[in-house]
Amino acid sequence: MPRIQKEDKKAALVAAAIRVFASQGLGAPTAMIAKEADVANGTLFNNFPTKTDLLNYVYIQIKQEVIETAIGDAPVDADLKQQAYYMWSRWTRWGAANPDKRRTLAMLCVSDEISEETRRVAGQGADCIGDMLTRCVANGHLRGQPLTFVTSILEALANMTIDFMIENPDEADKHSDLGFETFWRAIS
């Protein structure tokens, strides 16, 4: 029987951690994660010396996935509203399709275990989103407001939209579009 590669074990541990954290919270024991991944507990600690290391790694993995999904092949030649809609729709669809990752990320975002360095690394590549939001609000109701305030509004509205998309999958596109129009009217 072929041996499972270290990278495969690490990926299995990350996937298991996401499922366990989503259902049990960040306080879930590492033994539960190892069992869910079908590996020995020692394997977890060979890959992640501490639980904090695991938490920070999972945070980076999910955050980078969200950023890459939202940016994707964004239409850079499109007008600002079309660019914003593209990112919004990809983000909300990702959230609706990945409830465990979304729930885990929400917990990790407010965790004291996530270091500032991890937050910085995880946010790499998101500068274009911040730049786009800054251009979106330049002439609207929120001009002059801190980008963190605008981003907080965006995240709150996106999370509410995703919740409705999950609860009503047959109307997911409608909810995503309505959420975007609400956000666009608030900022433009």
Structural domains for the chain: 74-187 (1.10.357.10)
pLDDT over 70 percentage in the chain = 97
Is the model's pLDDT at 110 over the cut of 70? yes
CA distance 62 to 102: 8
Average pLDDT of the chain, as a whole number: 94
Token pair 């009217």 is at which residue?
185
Angle (nearest 5°) at CA 75 between 70 and 78: 130
With pLDDT > 90 as the criterion, what percentage of the chain qualifies?
85
pLDDT at site 74:
83
Tens-place pLDDT, residues 28-84: 999 999 999 999 999 999 999 999 999 999 999 999 999 999 998 888 889 999 999
pLDDT score at 99 = 97
Report H helices in 38-146. 41-47, 51-71, 80-97, 99-109, 116-122, 127-137
What pTM did the predictor assign?
0.91
Mean pLDDT score, 82-90: 95
pLDDT of res. 146: 94
pLDDT digits (tens, 9 = 90+) for 116-146: 999 999 999 898 888 999 999 998 889 999 9
Residue 4, pLDDT score: 55
Residue 1 has pLDDT above 50, yes or no: no
